[in-house]
């Protein structure tokens, strides 16, 4: 029997690239599947994306190919949101992905995309792949909201934010107006329409892989399979394959961060990290820094330099330091306030995994 060959397509941005890289590593190392990853990069100077790809290539047998994304400025409004730009980028990548597949000596039989790349599933049909899947690297709640959004779009009148009662989504806790995803705040906007479209396209796959597990989100997974309303739109199997997390091979090496954590009481340190796209403005950084300092709480803050969502990071450390109140400085341990600030690094997951009982998120 021939070894299965899976093609994984990663959308631009570290928040999409890293989950696909980790999924590819899991498929190849655990299930012995031949994996090819097409990494659609941001198209700009992105050392963090390149570093992540090179690090993954060094520790996995997956074949990883970078494909620069196309310029879509002429396809979106000047004030288009990041989500809209990302979706349009992936839509515009269909010819490039199709050409890349045709050039492969060993043709893939399965395609896996994330929720931003659902339109690429048509490429799988064009080149004769036997199956296509969507990977949701977050959790089952997000999947439930995404596939149920087209239903809400037909039954709810007006803006969701104006509804007094929380929205009821099968398998999830009721969602209040202030808890809505950004993509749901303006129903007339393109990003909302793109989100509804993606919600319709996910069930057109042959199945959905979700980074969760039964013990964590059993009720939501059951609703996706059995709830009368939700299963009516979610007609394909849902496979919980988590937890899939990124780990670092050097976590056990001596490090002042870990030494400091070892000295703290259990569950006494707040971990502050806004993710790969969580870049604050100068003013927001100042406000957050002041709030953390005045709280008197011990904390670890992973602070990103000013950057774009897609990963191009400035190297201006002085600009970061200038945005912090006196007494707070990157990469220094605060003796009085018990704080630790580190500039953004790929080892942020290790801070959580190492002595995780001392940290509350």
Q: What angle do CA 171, 177, 182 make, to 5 degrees?
A: 90
Please pick, among 16, 34, 339, 350, the residue that the annotation labels catalytic.
Answer: 16
Measured between alpha carbons, how far is 139 from 220 in angstroms, rounded to an integer? 10
331's tokens: 């990469």
Query: Do 32 and 136 touch, CB atoms closer than 8 A?
Result: no
Residue 16: active-site member: yes
Alpha-carbon 90 to chain mean position: 15
Strand partners, 26: none
CA 209, CA 27: separation in Å to the nearest integer?
12
Of 34, 114, 339, 350, the catalytic one is 114
Alpha-carbon distances of 314 from 68, 279, 308, 343, rounded to whole Å: 20, 11, 9, 11
Our answer to whether residue 34 is catalytic in this structure is no
- Determine how β-strand 131-136 pairs with β-strand 110-114: parallel
- Give the C-alpha separation, 201 to 203, whole Å: 6
Contact 99, 108 (CB under 8 A): no
Which residues form the catalytic set? 16, 114
């Amino acid at each position: 029997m021939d070894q299965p060959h899976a093609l994984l397509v990663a959308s631009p941005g570290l928040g999409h690239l890293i989950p696909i890289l980790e999924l590819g590593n899991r498929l190849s190392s655990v299930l012995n599947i031949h994996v090819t990853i097409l990494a659609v990069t941001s198209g700009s100077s992105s050392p963090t994306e390149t570093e992540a790809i090179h690090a993954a290539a060094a520790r996995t047998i997956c074949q990883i190919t970078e494909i620069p994304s196309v310029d879509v400025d002429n396809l979106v409004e000047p004030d288009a949101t990041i989500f809209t730009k990302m979706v349009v980028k992936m839509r515009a990548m269909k010819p490039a992905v199709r050409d890349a597949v045709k050039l492969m000596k060993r043709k893939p039989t399965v395609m896996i995309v994330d929720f931003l790349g659902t339109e690429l599933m048509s490429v799988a049909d064009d080149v004769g792949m036997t199956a296509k899947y969507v990977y949701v690297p977050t959790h089952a709640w997000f999947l439930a909201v995404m596939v149920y959004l087209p239903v809400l779009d037909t039954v709810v009148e007006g803006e969701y934010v104006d509804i007094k009662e929380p929205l009821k989504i099968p398998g999830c806790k009721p969602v209040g107006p202030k808890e809505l995803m950004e993509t749901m705040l303006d129903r007339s906007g393109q990003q909302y329409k793109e989100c509804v479209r993606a919600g319709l396209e996910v069930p057109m796959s042959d199945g959905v892989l979700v980074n969760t597990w039964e013990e964590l989100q059993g009720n939501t997974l059951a609703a996706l399979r059995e709830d009368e309303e939700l299963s009516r739109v979610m007609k394909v199997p849902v496979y919980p394959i988590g937890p899939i997390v990124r780990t670092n091979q050097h976590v056990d090496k001596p490090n002042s961060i870990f030494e400091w954590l070892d000295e703290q009481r259990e569950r006494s340190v707040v971990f502050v990290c806004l993710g790969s796209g969580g870049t604050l403005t100068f003013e927001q950084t100042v406000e957050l820094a002041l709030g953390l300092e005045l709280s008197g709480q011990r904390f670890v803050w992973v602070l990103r330099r000013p950057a774009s969502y897609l990963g191009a990071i400035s190297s201006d450390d002085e600009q970061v330091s200038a945005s912090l109140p006196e007494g707070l400085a990157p990469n220094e341990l605060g003796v009085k306030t018990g704080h630790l600030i580190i500039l953004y690094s790929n080892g942020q997951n290790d801070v959580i995994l190492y002595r995780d009982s001392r940290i509350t998120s």
